[in-house]
């Protein structure tokens, strides 16, 4: 398998906010189990099949710490097993009304149950760790709860980044050298945080590179390398107007049989209300057609880069993992065909680490403030629609720092402060502002942001009032519901403050 045309990197970003014990449907735990069943299981199956053929360095896989915490959590593992069994049961009860749909869903549910019980029953970390240890994927880390970093005080941003990297190291046995910064959010200077944390590579969106995504670049003044998404290639899939998932023959994500929850229709047409029945054979033909088209687009892009630059180029396409299977039912099959066809077309398929090793790093760049959201700026997370969320986040960060700075340096861990740090981290998740701005379950997002923000306020009001016993009791109640990141140690914020004070002298 040669790479005469150039190099291609596929990057998948796996992320959901903390959903465990915070509602089930229509937004809540069901979101987690749907993504797990329809994206994480089949995408990993694709990786295992290709690995069995001897393939290595297939793609770069980001798994955020907050998602990993759920995929490893005993509560979520038990609930996921029950959810899969319920999926199979729903297929049984739908048989008389929709026999073909029921048979198809029964086979899918039975396969998912078998895969879960054989491969995932002890959590996701053994699954991802084996893929990384065998060289099948490069794993990325990130900040603990996916906060939008550019809007955070530096000390809080660095605390959550280090906490997330430590969490990944505990689960996977190694500290990641690459990250997917939440929302590809970047502000000038963040590269120094990355360098200090041992991060050597990260992603930005293509416009942050001013469209020059044909190579990776060190960010000015550091050895930290930035990769830019090639939007011309990426949008062949991602574009809401012309992306492959909107093709007429694919299963329609939005059209339900409400009695069963199944999706028995194909897209048919963008403005067609009466949807045609889903036809797996038509969908399979569309997968083959669109996979071949995508490979052709990548090859032409690489040839254009070689013509313009006089040397082999790099294409980075990056997507949310949940697109493949959850949102786009046929996505995993498309993914498998693309990863099979690209090497046969003369494209070197590798990871971000592999791209560095292959020499696709060129001159340093100075990056502007940016994100991968609308406008490629910060408006999704800092716009008028979420001004109250932003103000609340500012208050959360201020209260967290004031609380840890306001106590004598403890000899041991302080469970109240540690719980405060976890609740602050959950409140600062970028998902809440995104969901509000995009009007996607905005009511749930506002409720979640407010709940964690109120817990931060309650604890930070109790502590300075000397009501330590009440604070400890309430912290224990919060920790019982949100029992993730037990290693997150609030003393790290105090140590960071002390280092900054010494450096300033």
Compute the Cα dihedral for 128, 131, 133, 139 and give only its sign.
negative
Distances (CA, A) of 3 to 204, 223, 309, 344: 25, 26, 17, 9
3-state secondary structure of 450: helix
Fold match between 6-84+98-141+176-246+279-357 and 383-504? no
The kind and range of the H/E element at 405 are helix 387-405
- According to DSSP, the residues that pair with 348 across neighbouring strands are 7
Q: What is the pLDDT of residue 1?
A: 36
Instruction: Check if the beta carbon of residue 3 is closer than 8 Å to that of residue 360.
Output: no
Q: Where are the alpha helices (DSSP H) in 330-386?
A: 331-344, 352-357, 379-382
The string of pLDDT tens digits covering residues 250-285 is 999 999 998 999 999 999 998 888 999 999 999 999
The crossing angle, in degrees rounded to 10, of helices 231-238 and 280-309 is: 170
What does the pLDDT look like over 183-240, one tens digit per residue?
999 999 999 999 999 999 999 999 999 989 999 999 988 999 999 999 999 999 988 6
Instruction: Report cis status (omega within 30 of 0) of the bond before 26.
Output: yes
Reported as a pLDDT band with limits 50, 70 and 90, residue 407 is: confident
- Could you give phi then psi for residue 315, rounded to 5 degrees? -120, 125
Residue 496 has pLDDT above 90, yes or no: no
| Mean pLDDT of the region 454-464 | 97
Does pLDDT of 178 surpass 70? yes
Backbone angles phi, psi at 282, to 5 degrees: -65, -40
Catalytic (active-site) positions: 183, 320
DSSP H helices, 197-268, are 231-238
pTM of the full structure: 0.96
Label residue 36 by pLDDT band (50, 70, 90): very high
Domain map (residue ranges) of the chain:
6-84+98-141+176-246+279-357, 383-504
Q: Per-residue pLDDT for 181 more than 70?
A: yes
Q: Which CATH superfamily is domain 383-504 in?
A: Families 57/38 glycoside transferase, middle domain (1.20.1430.10)
- Mean predicted confidence (pLDDT) in 153-167: 97
Task: Give residues with Cβ within 8 angstroms of 460, minimum separation 6.
Answer: 399, 400, 402, 403, 420
What span, in angstroms and rounded, lies between the C-alpha atoms of 294 and 211? 20
- pLDDT bucket at 98, cuts 50 / 70 / 90: very high
Q: For residue 11, is pLDDT > 70?
A: yes
Give the integer Cα–Cα distance in Å for 295 and 300: 9
Strand partners, 225: 201, 218
Kindly state which CATH superfamily the domain 6-84+98-141+176-246+279-357 is placed in: Glycoside hydrolase 38, N terminal domain (3.20.110.10)
Mean pLDDT of all residues belonging to the chain: 95
Res. 2: pLDDT tops 60: no
Residue 482 has pLDDT above 90, yes or no: yes
Both tokens assigned to 315:
């294409």
C-beta separation of 485 from 69 below 8 A:
yes
pLDDT at 9: 98
Runs of H (alpha helix) within 199-279: 231-238
Does the pLDDT of residue 497 top 90, yes or no? no
pLDDT at 410 (0 to 100)? 67
Q: How confident is the model at residue 505 (pLDDT cuts 50, 70, 90)?
A: low
296: part of which helix (H) or strand (E)? helix 280-309
**DSSP character string of 83-97:** HHHHHHHHHHHTTTT
Q: How far apart are CA 421 and CA 414, in angstroms?
A: 11
Least confident among 32-46, 132-146, 296-310, 491-505: 491-505
Residue 93's closest CA among 25, 39, 85, 37?
85
């Amino acid at each position: 398998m040669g790479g005469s045309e150039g190099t291609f990197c596929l990057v998948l970003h796996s992320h959901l906010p903390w959903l465990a014990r915070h509602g089930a449907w229509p937004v809540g735990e069901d979101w987690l189990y749907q993504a797990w069943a329809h994206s994480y299981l089949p995408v990993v199956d694709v990786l295992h099949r290709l690995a069995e053929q001897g393939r290595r360095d297939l793609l770069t896989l980001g798994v955020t710490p907050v998602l990993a915490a759920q995929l490893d959590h005993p509560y979520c593992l038990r609930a996921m097993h029950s959810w899969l069994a319920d999926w199979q049961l729903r297929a049984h009860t739908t048989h008389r009304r929709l026999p073909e749909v029921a048979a198809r869903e029964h086979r899918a549910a039975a396969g998912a149950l078998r895969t879960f019980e054989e491969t995932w029953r002890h959590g996701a970390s053994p699954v991802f760790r084996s893929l990384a240890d065998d060289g099948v994927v490069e794993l990325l880390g990130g900040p603990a709860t996916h906060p939008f970093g550019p809007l955070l005080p530096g000390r809080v941003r660095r605390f959550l980044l280090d906490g997330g990297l430590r969490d990944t190291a505990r689960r996977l046995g190694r500290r990641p050298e690459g990250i997917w910064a939440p929302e590809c959010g970047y502000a000038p200077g963040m590269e120094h945080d990355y360098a200090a944390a041992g991060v050597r590579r990260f992603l930005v969106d293509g416009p942050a590179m001013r469209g020059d995504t044909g190579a990776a670049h060190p960010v000015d003044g550091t050895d930290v390398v930035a990769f830019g998404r090639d939007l011309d290639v990426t949008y062949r899939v991602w574009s809401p107007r012309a992306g492959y998932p909107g093709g007429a023959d694919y299963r329609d994500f939005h059209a339900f049989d409400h009695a069963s929850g199944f999706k028995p229709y194909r897209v048919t047409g963008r403005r067609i209300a009466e949807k045609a029945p889903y036809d797996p054979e038509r969908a399979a033909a569309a997968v083959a057609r669109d996979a071949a088209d995508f490979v052709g687009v990548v090859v032409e892009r690489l040839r254009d880069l070689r013509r313009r630059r006089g040397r082999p180029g790099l294409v980075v396409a990056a997507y949310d993992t949940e697109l493949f299977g959850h949102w786009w039912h046929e996505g995993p099959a498309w993914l498998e065909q693309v990863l099979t066809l690209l090497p046969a077309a003369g494209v070197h398929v590798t990871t971000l680490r592999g791209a560095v090793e292959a020499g696709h790093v060129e001159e340093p760049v100075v990056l502007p403030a940016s994100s991968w959201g609308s406008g490629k700026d910060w408006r999704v997370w800092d716009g008028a629609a979420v001004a109250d969320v932003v103000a609340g986040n500012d208050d959360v960060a201020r209260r967290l720092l004031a609380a840890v700075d306001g106590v004598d340096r403890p000899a041991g861990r302080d469970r109240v402060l540690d719980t405060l740090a976890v609740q602050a981290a959950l409140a600062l998740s970028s998902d809440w502002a995104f969901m509000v701005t995009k009007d996607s379950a905005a009511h749930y997002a506002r409720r979640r942001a407010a709940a964690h923000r109120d817990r931060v306020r309650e604890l930070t009001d109790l502590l300075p009032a000397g009501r330590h016993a009440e604070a400890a009791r309430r912290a224990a109640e919060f920790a019982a519901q949100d029992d993730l990141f037990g290693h997150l140690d609030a003393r790290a914020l105090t140590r960071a403050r002390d280092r900054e004070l010494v450096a300033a002298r």
